[in-house]
Amino acid sequence: MEMLLRAFGITKTYGAFTALSDISFDVSKGEVVAVVGPNGAGKTTLVSTLSGLYRPDSGDVIFEGRSVLGLGPAALALRGLARSFQLVTVYPTFTVEDMIAVGAFARAGETFRLWKPACLYKAERDEVREIAAAFGLSHRLSTPCSALSQGEKKLVDIASALTLRPRLMLLDEPTSGISSADKHRIMETLLDAARRCGVESLVLVEHDMDLISRYATRVIGLKAGQIVADMRPDAFFRDPEVIDTLVGKVPHHALG
């Protein structure tokens, strides 16, 4: 399979604290990679480093065969490596259409302005509506983000990032704050929409083991900033030592 992303020897420290220590792994086309581990394991730092938000102290990030070290999140997103940010909480008065449009304008090299004449961005608006439909949000386009459910807010954030048409998407806890009853629906919507929008691989930080056992194709386990497991979900959930180290318990259906 084609390799899209490679983390090579990534180390990140904060003073005397080592958040990531010599992290190396590849992500190939078609993979859904779940990153798991206890609190403080370095999961969010890893996503932030891969997305260009943080620069590692040492190591390299390779995307599509080229080093992208030093590029920020915006430049990386335009190259095809995008991360969702919780912008809905920052701009609660934006409508769903406005919020998704932020990504479309960024890809077009435009600065988003609510007062721009509609004739200047018809193509972007058409794309926004197409992506909203993929997420089941067509009926919410004129709704202020402040009026959305938590699950809908998550989908809008991810939809905005997908207007950049990335090949690889990084997600940090995409189902956090969502009720257990809605998590599978949100995850299925997310994965289906991502495929329809051309995303070829996903890397996500997720705590819900039930979701991981059902949707991930690979699990990377972090503890104290180091990779302690990298395996298929079926092997992961059948390794008592790994489970005890990283999550403590496993959903019964994951055991087959």
The values of phi and psi at residue 28, to 5°, are -100, 160
The better pLDDT of the pair 221, 106 is held by 221
Question: What pLDDT, on a 0 to 100 scale, did the predictor assign at position 15?
Answer: 94
pLDDT for residue 33 is more than 90: yes
Q: Mean pLDDT across the stretch 158-163?
A: 88
201-205 vs 226-231, strand pairing mode: unpaired
**Which tens digits make up the pLDDT trace of 174-184?**
888 888 888 99
H-type alpha helices, the chain = 43-50, 73-79, 96-107, 122-134, 150-162, 180-196, 209-215, 233-236, 240-246
Could you tell me the pTM of the whole model?
A: 0.88
The values of phi and psi at residue 64, to 5°, are 55, 40
Distance CA 197, CA 11 (A): 33
